[in-house]
Structure 1
Amino acid sequence: MEEEFEFGFTEDPKFSVERYEEMIRNHDQYFFDAQAFENIIDYYIEKNDPPKALQVAEYALNQHPFAAIFLIKQAQLLVVTNKVDEAFAALEKAAMLEASDPDIYLIRGNIYESQERYGEALENYEKALELAEETDEVLLHIAYVYQNMGDYETAITYLKLCLKQNMENQDALYELAFCYDVLDNQQESVLFYQQYIDNEPYSYAAWYNLGNAFTKLSLFEKAIDAYDYAILIKDNFASAYFNKGNALVNLEKYAEAIDVYRHTFEYEQPNADTYCAIGECYEKLEQMDDARAFYKKSVKMEPKLADAWFGIGVTLDFEERYFEALHFYKKALDLDIANADYWFAIADAEYKLGHMDEAEHAYEKVVELNPIDVDAWLDYSSILYEQQRLQDAIEVIAQAIKNNPEAAELYYRMVAYLFAKGEYNEALNNLEMALSADPEKHYILFDYLPQLQKNKVIVDIINRYTK
């Protein structure tokens, strides 16, 4: 007969694991109490070894067939290893032994949630809510289900309840920010985080989310203050440094932003996005060698980062190296074919190289992708005008006006083209519309056709609107 040894919960968990592994090696049969088995299962779960943990659960069930905890652990592990039917069966058995254990319903809810059976998921979570002593995690799961169903208002209600139960639930804080974001309700978000901070002033996550909400409202100074508090509480908070850098960029404080971005390297590995952001700051400061160096670091780390390839192009364009710039713009475009900014840069570079057909094609793409880009319409019509294609230029501006009826610049440009074509009455009609939209911008007309400054009819009409 095999000799049986008993190991109890007074043992160090590490000792229990060693004895268990010794038992397996020796093909022996030791007895462990329930607590020791739990410790051994948790050890393998932490080591991310579900098959071993499952094997321990089997042993535990052989020795403790009426302990629901091992059926629950088994179900958890079966879910992880995609054996959903077996997990359901284990939960059924557990419910027969101990129907009041909330984990049964929590795990079952998880399975239904992953299968997008949201009604059944909610039923189980509600049951877990009735039985659990600490409910914040259950409330969080209910919020996730409502998010998955697209009901963000209800999700917010449950996230707030979750935080009421546990002020330190970081996941709930971030999910709440996400829900407000989806609903584009930053004012509510600001209000919530400010109230939250009144009760919990040392929550770096709350300060960080407050900073993000201010950023989305374009209140960059306030955002920076909030990020500073987050950093004060948690000085290695790389994301707060990064977002503070972005806020400084929005305030055009590029040198300060570079310092803040560099701070992130002290607390996390440098990444392509940060290198790209630093490159952009140097670009705005017109320090093109430094900008190019950081953009290159960025693409070396992440070859699929279109913005960094584009940035290299911008630095070359600045140095009038248009042919080289085009190569990098096209690399960016390959990664993001529907990016209107990339097409615009390509159009401009092709134009500067005298490639009119290619420039025209690129401008066509820009206005197709972004019909409210007034500058693109103006440039597009301009290259047609330069080629004496007056009717084409007029048609392009007419399209532009249809898409941007408020843009005075377009009407002034139309006036210039109509005068050049000799269609004076139509030109004067458009001049009235331009002056109605924005009389201050009448200089645009003279920039384009300076000889019109000598035209008494035009000067009289402008004076009527500007005096």
Structure 2
Amino acid sequence: MEFSHSDNNNLSLTKFESMLKTNHILFFDSEEFENIIHHYLNQGKIALAKKAIRLGLDQHPTSTNLKLFKVEVFVFEDNLIEADTLLNELYILDPMNEEIHIQKANILSKKDKHEKAIEVLKKALELTDDVVDLYSLIGMEYLFLDQFENAKEFFIKCLEVDLEDYSALYNIIYCFDFLDQNEEAIEYLNIFLDKNPYSEVAWHQLGKQYLTIKKYKKALAAFDFAIISDDTFIGAYLERGKVLEKLKRYNEAIESYNLTLSLDDPTSYALLHIGKCYEKLGNSDLAVQYYYKTVHEDPLLDKGWIAITKFYNKQKNYPKALYYINKAINIDTENVVYWKLYAQINQRLKYYEEAERGYKKTLELGNYELNTWVSRGDLLIKLGELQAAVYNYEQAMDFYPESAEIEYRLAGLYFTLNEASKGSYHLKNGIKINNEYSFIIDELFPDIIKNFKVKSILKSKL
């Protein structure tokens, strides 16, 4: 039982804390001690809870409930051996106490013995009429085992007993999502809504399911019902805005996002998407204003900086685009998309060394697209790093063994490096794969086009 200022039990708490200050031992009945301990545990004041347990057991040494609080603290502090020992003693005295079984299951769960924890919790179900918490605990144990069907079954049982148990509802949807059962989730939520038609959470979750399977009009209707059920539900307005964006109804999306700003403090998500909507509507001035508001609201939101980067990139204002892509990379240094954009912007600014560094980082992060290999290699050629370019293209060959673009580039590099036999080999391969790409030699390696062997091989393709 939790204390409140209007609760008479608050007198017990005041009396207890006064006793601690004066060191004068006062008497409390066991229920008072239970309420005091429960209050301190809920507040996270473990030291005070332990004092209350000790003093409570001094005055009521046979109280099972006080000893169970002691077990709870042992478990919290990972003193599992002491907790287990005390629980075994309590079980001998009171084998029909479901709380003893619950704490036993808690210890087994801490030891990653989830199957055994479930067995114990199912025994506890036989000892109590208050089953909701036990169903939830069993469901959680099944989640630990990645047994999502079983977990879903027990969370559904929770909701059958208590339609307002939204924690169980979220867990049910989590299981459906993990199992890729969107249609089944929709069917379940519609049945639930027949019983509880004003559940804003269920309407919201139904909308998200429709959004996942791209049924945007049905998603929109579900979010509208969520808002009818609770017109202050910010999450529903945000999701509604997202759907309206998908439907290209940008003015309505802006209106929906703006409603969230009037209900609570601005969120960077809403500001960012308002900016994107204005950009789609061709209102560049308002778009960039909202992008700046986004990063002002959340300076660590890389998506805000990247939105500004892309805006200036489209405007061909590359110095500003470079400034903002650096901001995004400073926040998320492992994002492939950012590094690729960084490379492209630097290339447009003719900062070739930085551009090459960007493509190299992109490859290191696992982006093995042909265009990335080619762009980096061409920059290395431009920078005079011919051996590095060769190594780059040889690595690319592992991923694209039949690429004419790579073969012609390797041919040109080897002829430039006076390795004619290797050059001939790759030039012939390039011609065999696609003779129309031979212009690469002329564009990237104009100095070797007059080479007799090169001319001879190129002539043979005609």
Question: Partner amino acid for 2:14?
Answer: E
Selected match of 2:244 from 234, 248, 269: 248
Q: Alpha-carbon deviation of 1:340?
A: 3.9
Q: Alpha-carbon deviation of 1:193?
A: 0.8
Selected match of 1:136 from 132, 137, 162: 132
- Residue aligning to 1:311: 307
Residue pair 2:302, 2:332 contacting (<8 A) in 1 also: yes
- Residue aligning to 2:335: 339
- Residue aligning to 1:224: 220
- Residue aligning to 2:38: 42
Question: Partner amino acid for 2:60?
Answer: H
Residue pair 1:231, 1:240 contacting (<8 A) in 2 also: yes
- Residue aligning to 1:154: 150
Q: Alpha-carbon deviation of 1:208?
A: 1.3
TM-score (norm 2): 0.73
- Correspondence list, 1:258-297, <5 A: 258-297=254-293
- Residue aligning to 2:56: 60
- Residue aligning to 1:170: 166
Q: Alpha-carbon deviation of 1:327?
A: 2.3
Residue pair 2:204, 2:223 contacting (<8 A) in 1 also: yes
Residue pair 1:139, 1:161 contacting (<8 A) in 2 also: yes
Q: Alpha-carbon deviation of 1:262?
A: 2.8
Q: Alpha-carbon deviation of 1:325?
A: 0.5
- Correspondence list, 1:374-453, <5 A: none
Cα distance between partner residues in 1 of 2:195 and 2:368: 45
- Residue aligning to 1:114: 110
State the secondary structure of the residue aligned to 1:202. Answer: coil
Cα distance between partner residues in 2 of 1:68 and 1:323: 72
2:26 is the counterpart of 1:33: no
Cα distance between partner residues in 2 of 1:112 and 1:288: 59
Residue pair 2:266, 2:297 contacting (<8 A) in 1 also: no
Question: Partner amino acid for 2:44?
Answer: N
- Residue aligning to 1:206: 202
- Residue aligning to 1:438: none
- Residue aligning to 1:237: 233
Question: Partner amino acid for 2:155?
Answer: L
Q: Alpha-carbon deviation of 1:216?
A: 0.9
Selected match of 1:16 from 6, 9, 12: 12
Question: Partner amino acid for 2:139?
Answer: A
Cα 1:368–1:256, aligned 2, differ >3 Å: closer, same or farther? farther
2:179 is the counterpart of 1:189: no
Question: Partner amino acid for 1:162?
Answer: C
- Correspondence list, 1:311-330, <5 A: 311-330=307-326
Identify the range of structure 1 (327-336 vs 168-177) with the bigger mean alpha-carbon deviation.
327-336
Cα distance between partner residues in 2 of 1:378 and 1:77: 58
Residue pair 1:207, 1:227 contacting (<8 A) in 2 also: yes
Cα 1:252–1:84, aligned 2, differ >3 Å: closer, same or farther? farther
TM-score (norm 1): 0.73
Q: Alpha-carbon deviation of 1:176?
A: 1.4
Cα 1:245–1:83, aligned 2, differ >3 Å: closer, same or farther? farther
Cα distance between partner residues in 1 of 2:259 and 2:42: 32
Cα distance between partner residues in 1 of 2:183 and 2:233: 25
Cα distance between partner residues in 1 of 2:176 and 2:115: 24
Cα 1:79–1:302, aligned 2, differ >3 Å: closer, same or farther? farther
State the secondary structure of the residue aligned to 1:131. Answer: coil
- Residue aligning to 2:460: none
State the secondary structure of the residue aligned to 2:183. Answer: helix
Cα distance between partner residues in 1 of 2:53 and 2:312: 63
- Residue aligning to 1:458: none
Cα distance between partner residues in 2 of 1:197 and 1:143: 22
Selected match of 1:95 from 82, 91, 94: 91
Cα distance between partner residues in 1 of 2:123 and 2:263: 42
Identity of aligned residues (%): 28
Cα 1:357–1:17, aligned 2, differ >3 Å: closer, same or farther? closer
Cα distance between partner residues in 2 of 1:264 and 1:182: 29
Cα 1:200–1:239, aligned 2, differ >3 Å: closer, same or farther? same
Cα distance between partner residues in 1 of 2:286 and 2:84: 59
Q: Alpha-carbon deviation of 1:107?
A: 2.5
Q: Alpha-carbon deviation of 1:73?
A: 2.1
State the secondary structure of the residue aligned to 1:109. Answer: helix
Deviations 1:241-292 (A, max 9, x none): 2222222222233332232223223444333333333333333334344333
Residue pair 1:204, 1:230 contacting (<8 A) in 2 also: yes
State the secondary structure of the residue aligned to 1:32. Answer: coil
Residue pair 1:276, 1:295 contacting (<8 A) in 2 also: yes
Cα 1:346–1:207, aligned 2, differ >3 Å: closer, same or farther? same
Cα distance between partner residues in 1 of 2:90 and 2:297: 49
Q: Alpha-carbon deviation of 1:223?
A: 1.4
Query: What CA RMSD, in Å, does the superposition of the two structures yield over aligned residues?
Result: 4.0
Unaligned runs of 5+ residues in structure 1 are 1-10, 415-420, 431-467
Q: Alpha-carbon deviation of 1:217?
A: 0.8
Q: Alpha-carbon deviation of 1:341?
A: 3.0
Identify the range of structure 1 (96-105 vs 363-372) with the bigger mean alpha-carbon deviation.
363-372
Residue pair 1:66, 1:97 contacting (<8 A) in 2 also: no
Cα 1:30–1:177, aligned 2, differ >3 Å: closer, same or farther? same
Q: Alpha-carbon deviation of 1:213?
A: 0.9
Deviations 1:322-377 (A, max 9, x none): 02201221332343344343244334423432456655665677688787989x68
Q: Alpha-carbon deviation of 1:13?
A: 0.6
Question: Partner amino acid for 1:148?
Answer: F
Cα 1:280–1:110, aligned 2, differ >3 Å: closer, same or farther? farther
Selected match of 1:71 from 63, 67, 75: 67
Cα 1:120–1:201, aligned 2, differ >3 Å: closer, same or farther? same
Deviations 1:39-94 (A, max 9, x none): 22233334432322222222222222222111122222343344444433443343
Q: Alpha-carbon deviation of 1:196?
A: 1.2
